[in-house]
Every structure is written in structure tokens, then in C-alpha cells.
Structure 1
């Protein structure tokens, strides 16, 4: 690796794969350093602590996930979620799993979770506004819950979770349009 930035990015990428697959607690420092091909001293130099590493992993994942949500429709939101899990694996939300695993006791995780979920909610609200031509906070909240539900249900419902959530979302959008037909695009 050429630079300190490259080493840090490699460490974060390696840690993300390990945390996602095995969990935060089950991923010890020996496993991290072995997989990243660096000493514990180098790891601490680039990150500082395992908690800070988890926060960096969640921030990197948040950025990648939000890039996948550059869509123009509610249907596109669920298609992007389907594509995400096709590429990442269907293990649910790493943010919620990290929060659950740490008991909500790590401020770094609590803050990363809150920030990520707020960003996703805001993005869903932008898509709703584009779909309806107006804001609809109730619909945005309903779609967020469907989206979150599909994200977790994919663990055990596999190919059924996202299509079912997508159909429910389509019904909710149609009902919102029917309540205010002059706002259709």
C-alpha cells in the first residue's frame, strides 16, 4: 500500500467485511490485523480503537449506501435495496446489528445509526416529493418503515421481502396520489 490513506481505507474495508460477516464482538483484534495484513500498532495508529474503527466502518458504509439511493422513484428505492443485498449479501442492517450487539452503549454507534437513518429518511422524503410533486411526511414515514422492514426481513424471507414491501409502497403512493390528484407529475 502506498499511503497512510490507502492503509486506512484498506483497514476500514477489511473491518467492514469482518464486522458484517461475524459481528463486532466476534471480530477480535487478532482477526482484524491478520485479515488486514498489518500489525496492531499500525491498526491503532490509523484508527485509534476498535470502537472508532466500527464508527469509521459505519460512516463508510453510510456513504456507499446513500450513493446507491440515487433514484427518482419509490420503485427505484426498493430496486436499489434489492441490488444492494445482491451485491452485499442479505444479513440485514449493519447499523442496527451493531447497535444491538453493543447494547446502544457506544456513543460512536448510536450517533452513526441516528445519522444514517436520518439520511435515509431524508432521501425517501426527497423521492416522495419527486413522485407526488409535494412533501408528504406521513407517506415518508410509512415508506421508511416498509424499507426498514424489508431490510431486516430479507434475512429470513429472502426473495419475498423486497417485492412485498415494493408492492405495499406502490399501494401507499397510489393512495397518496388519489387523495391529492392535482399533484401528480
Structure 2
């Protein structure tokens, strides 16, 4: 594993488990097994590191969503949560903690959420064929994001509930 990958992995773990504001650069350097000087050389600023972590996590998560149905989409979320934990969306947590004053973070969140919506649209197109309604895509996205948030306090059962609701929406859209 190269230095950048090691740093991003350590930072993702700390940000995910402890938050962005609570995780200082010294703690990040220690977790990555490098000096603060090396950390800054590779990461730039903390905000640049957060944006890089978000980009890497987003790519990793979207790869899990290369599925052909809404049911499989929610299965992928449940699988992710069983491996990674159910602490909510790291992108929305970053936006909530840091706010919209940091362009790198806002851009990372906006770009990921757009890619996620496109992915949901592609999944629905594979499942239903061409002409998927934008409203259905938005409904599935909201169910997915709601399940992601609710699983933090309701458990993974929230994902099952959202899966059933999404399946009902797809069935009604087909009718």
C-alpha cells in the first residue's frame, strides 16, 4: 500500500468513527504511521484530505452498487452496513460538521450525490427498461438515504423496510 492509500485509509477510518472536527492532524499522522510533515506533504490541508477521503469512499461504495435491481441496491446497503457499520452517510456527516463554507467538501458531496442519483437511475433502467421517471429515481434515492440515516438508531431493519417500500414503488411504476 502506498503512502497516499495508507493515509486515506487511516483518515477514512478515523473520520468515520470519530468525526471530522474531532480528528486532528496529529492523530491522523499517528494512525497513518507518519510524521506530521509527511502527512501535510501528501495530504495538503485537512480539507483536501477530507475531500480525498470522500472521493475514495464514494468510488468504493458505488462499486458495490453495480447491481440490476432496486432490491439488490438495498441488499448492497445492508451488506455495506454489516461490514462498515451503520453510522449514516459520511458525505452528509461531513457537510453537517463542516458546513458549506468549505468548497472542497461541498464539491465532493455534490458530485457524489449526483453520481449516486445517476447510479440509481441506471439500476432502475436495467430493471425496468428505458423511460424511468425522474420522480421514481428521487423517491428511491430518498428511501435509500433515509434508510442509511435510520439504520444508525433503528438497526439494519430500516434497510429492509426501505427495500419493501422501494419495491412497491417500482411495482406501481410498472403497472
Tell me which interval the TM-score lies in, with the shorter structure as reference length.
over 0.9
Residue-by-residue CA offset, 1:92-134 (whole Å, 9 max, x unaligned): 0000000000022111110111111111100100111122112
Residue-by-residue CA offset, 1:23-78 (whole Å, 9 max, x unaligned): 11100111111111101110011111111000100010011011000100010100
Equivalent position SS for 1:92: coil
> Is 1:169 aligned with 2:166?
yes
Contact 1:128 1:136 survives alignment (8 Å) = no
Q: Which runs of 4+ in 1 moved over 2 A?
A: none
User: Could you tell me the TM-score, scaled by structure 2's length?
Assistant: 0.97
Contact 1:55 1:109 survives alignment (8 Å) = yes
Tell me the distance in 2 between the aligned counterparts of 1:74 and 1:157: 21
Relative contact order, CA 8 A, sep 6+: which one is greater? 2
1:82 to 74, 78, 83: 78
Equivalent position SS for 2:156: helix
Root-mean-square deviation (Å): 0.9
> Is 1:115 aligned with 2:108?
no
> Is 1:126 aligned with 2:122?
yes
The runs of 5 or more residues in structure 2 that have no matched partner are none
Equivalent position SS for 2:155: helix
Tell me the distance in 2 between the aligned counterparts of 1:59 and 1:173: 30
How many residues end up aligned between the 2 structures? 174
2:53 to 31, 53, 57: 57
Contact 1:129 1:136 survives alignment (8 Å) = no
Tell me the distance in 2 between the aligned counterparts of 1:103 and 1:60: 20
The runs of 5 or more residues in structure 1 that have no matched partner are 179-185
Equivalent position SS for 2:87: coil
Tell me the distance in 2 between the aligned counterparts of 1:177 and 1:18: 43
Q: Specify the structure having the higher radius of gyration (Cα).
A: 1
